[in-house]
């Protein structure tokens, strides 16, 4: 009887651990780009404390690359883990509770986008693309190699390649790949959407979708079909039905300017809207079934990253950042602006929508080197963190997407995971003790400070300067 009880207890533990494993099947976690990993477990989760991870690499940074790409977060065998790569050409697996690196794998090229985490034969596997034109698959827990697949054969005249974050669905990995060969006899500038077998890496099909770079694919099942959406940097947005053995075009939409981010799609409706911003400064809501524009809103400058769709008080909202220093929130149904918050710098990151002590919140990074957390109902700044100066001297905007924060929720704990452009990966409890918590700043505070300085200058300094010659003559 005692042996039977122990066996039953072990089975329950195993089932609990299996149920707690959380996957991350797309660039921002879901089609709606919420960027949240939520660990629901019957056992108390481990404490998540502040951690600054820095990897000393002998590789020299060059502009046009992501210092750190965006991370993927998952619970692997009862351990909260983050997976992140960057210009150091290495994928790092970080244990967020133990504050240690579990394993690292070097590739032959920069990693410019987030990895994805999915299950293969009962084992969690991390998938990512590298500028060496290859897709990698490694066991999430141990770093054991599962497979590697080169998508484009290298040549002596091939300059560089760009692979996106993978999209995982029903045993298939979707990834975009752009390669450029400058030789005249075999000149090639092509961007493909490729479908690979998640188990073996075997290529199932590929389709040319652009003659330039392409953003990460986003997919959602709509009306019994699995639709994959891809946006080329030149602005062509395409919807492909990937339900069968070959992709079938559904619709196309031409954006008014270049696009660096990926689409975000509603997830809790049968007639979803898709949202995509461009460097023209607009956010366009598109019917995901027909490709018809539903509404459009303008910002004062670039929108060069992915928007985020979530629910606030039972109503879907879309949040997006712009280089006009503002973070915007719009009602999905009609595009009405719910709030606009002016921050201390240009908002370059994709926002992340999450729950903070039962209230909706949103986080985003700005070029004043701060990560902001705001109330998603009102846009009021709750707190901010200082994320450090960039590791390069001059900021060259518009060349690449820098890393964006994601959120890990474990019980009552909420932590931000962010690879900053100062070469450090931060794990920051939102409400816990941290050394980087900063006074929330905005441009309004800057103008108030300048006004105070001006008043002091006119009221104190100028009178002294006027009276000084008279005193000198006396």
Binning the chain into helix, strand and coil, the percentages to the nearest 5 are: 10, 45, 45
SS3 10: helix
Per-residue model confidence (pLDDT) at position 159: 72
396: tokens are: 């060259």
Q: Are strands 36-39 and 406-410 parallel, antiparallel or unpaired?
A: parallel
* β-pair partners for 23: none
- The secondary structure element, H or E, covering residue 464 is helix 462-473
Q: How many Å apart are CA 189 and CA 213, to the nearest integer?
A: 9
CA 68, CA 110: separation in Å to the nearest integer? 10
- Cα separation, 93 vs 100, whole angstroms: 9
Q: Which residue has the tokens 């006899």?
A: 185
Provide the CATH number for the domain formed by 2-441 in this structure. 2.140.10.10
Q: Phi/psi of residue 273, each to 5°?
A: -100, 150
Q: Are 125 and 136 in contact (CB under 8 A)?
A: no
- Contact in structure between 409 and 38 (CB atoms under 8 Å): yes
Cα(280)–Cα(347) distance, rounded to whole angstroms? 15
d(C-alpha 165, C-alpha 218), whole Å: 10
Per-residue pLDDT at 187: 63
Q: Dump the DSSP string for 13-67.
A: HHHHHHHH-B-B-STTSSTT---EEEE--SSPPPP---EEE----SSPP-TTS-S
Instruction: Label residues 131-163 b or e (16+ Cβ within 10 Å = b).
Output: bbbbbbbbbbbeeeebbebebbeeeeebeebbb
Cα(473)–Cα(138) distance, integer angstroms? 83
**Closest to 174 (Cα-Cα) out of 182, 165, 162:** 165
Q: Determine the 3-state secondary structure of 472 from DSSP.
A: helix
Beta bridge partners of 248: 241
pLDDT in tens, the chain (474 residues): 434 333 333 333 333 333 335 689 999 999 999 999 998 877 888 889 999 999 888 888 877 788 999 999 999 999 999 999 999 999 999 999 999 999 999 999 999 999 999 999 999 999 999 999 999 999 999 999 999 999 988 777 777 789 999 999 999 999 999 988 776 566 668 899 999 999 999 999 999 999 999 999 999 999 999 999 999 999 999 999 999 999 999 999 999 999 999 999 999 899 999 999 999 999 999 999 999 999 999 999 999 999 999 999 999 999 999 999 999 999 999 999 999 999 999 999 999 999 999 999 999 999 999 999 999 999 999 999 999 999 887 777 777 888 999 999 998 899 999 999 999 999 999 998 899 998 655 555 555 666 777 777 677 777 767 666 655 555
DSSP element (H, E) containing 360 = strand 359-366
* pLDDT at residue number 450: 62
pLDDT, residue 11, reads 36
The confidence score (pLDDT) of residue 440 equals 53
Q: Please tell me the pTM assigned to this model.
A: 0.88
Q: 470: which residues sit within 8 A by CB, 6+ positions away?
A: none
The pLDDT assigned to 137 comes to 98
pLDDT at 15: 37
Region of 420 (left: φ > 0; alpha: ψ -120 to 50; beta: rest) is beta
Provide the pLDDT for residue 1. 41
Give the C-alpha separation, 104 to 90, whole Å.
6
Instruction: Quote the pLDDT of residue 3.
Output: 44
């Amino acid at each position: 009887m005692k042996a039977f009880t122990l066996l039953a207890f072990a089975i329950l533990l195993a089932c609990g651990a299996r149920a707690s494993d959380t996957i991350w099947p797309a660039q921002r976690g879901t089609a709606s780009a919420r960027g949240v990993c939520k660990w629901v477990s019957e056992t108390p989760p481990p404490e998540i404390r502040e951690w600054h991870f820095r990897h000393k690499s002998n590789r020299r940074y060059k502009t046009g690359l992501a210092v750190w790409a965006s991370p993927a977060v998952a619970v692997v065998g009862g351990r909260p883990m983050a997976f992140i790569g960057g210009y150091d050409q290495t994928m790092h697996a970080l244990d967020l509770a133990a504050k240690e690196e579990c394993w690292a794998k070097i590739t032959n090229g920069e990693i410019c986008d987030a990895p994805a985490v999915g299950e293969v034969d009962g084992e969690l596997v991390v998938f990512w693309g590298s500028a060496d034109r290859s897709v990698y698959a490694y066991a999430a827990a141990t770093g054991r190699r599962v497979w590697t697949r080169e998508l484009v054969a290298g040549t002596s005249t091939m300059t560089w390649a760009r692979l996106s974050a993978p999209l995982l669905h029903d045993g298939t990995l979707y990834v975009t790949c752009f390669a450029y060969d400058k030789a005249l006899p075999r000149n090639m500038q092509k961007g493909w959407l490729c479908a690979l077998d998640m188990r073996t890496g075997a290529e199932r099909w590929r389709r040319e979708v652009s003659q330039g770079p392409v953003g990460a694919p986003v997919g959602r099942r709509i009306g019994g079909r699995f639709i994959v959406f891809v946006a080329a940097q030149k602005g062509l947005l395409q919807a492909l039905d990937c339900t069968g053995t070959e992709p079938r075009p559904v619709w196309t939409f031409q954006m008014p300017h270049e696009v660096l981010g990926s689409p975000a799609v509603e997830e809790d409706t049968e007639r979803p809207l898709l949202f995509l911003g461009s460097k023209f400064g607009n956010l366009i809501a598109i019917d995901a079934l027909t490709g018809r524009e539903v509404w459009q809103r303008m910002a004062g400058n670039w929108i060069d990253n992915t928007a985020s769709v979530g629910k606030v008080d039972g109503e879907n909202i879309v949040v997006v950042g712009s280089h006009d220093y503002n973070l915007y929130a719009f009602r999905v149904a009609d595009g009405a602006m719910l709030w606009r918050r002016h921050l201390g710098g240009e908002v370059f990151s994709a926002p992340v929508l999450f729950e903070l002590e039962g209230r909706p919140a949103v986080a985003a990074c700005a070029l004043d080197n701060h990560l902001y957390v705001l109330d998603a109902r009102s846009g009021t700044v709750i707190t901010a963190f200082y994320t450090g100066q960039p590791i390069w001297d001059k900021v060259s905007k518009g060349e690449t997407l820098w890393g964006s924060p994601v959120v890990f929720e474990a019980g009552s704990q909420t932590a931000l995971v962010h690879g900053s452009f100062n070469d450090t990966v931060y794990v920051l409890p939102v409400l816990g003790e941290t050394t980087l918590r900063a006074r929330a700043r905005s441009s309004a505070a800057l103008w108030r400070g300048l006004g105070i300085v001006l008043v002091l200058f006119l009221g104190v300094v100028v009178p002294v300067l006027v009276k000084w010659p008279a005193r000198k003559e006396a």
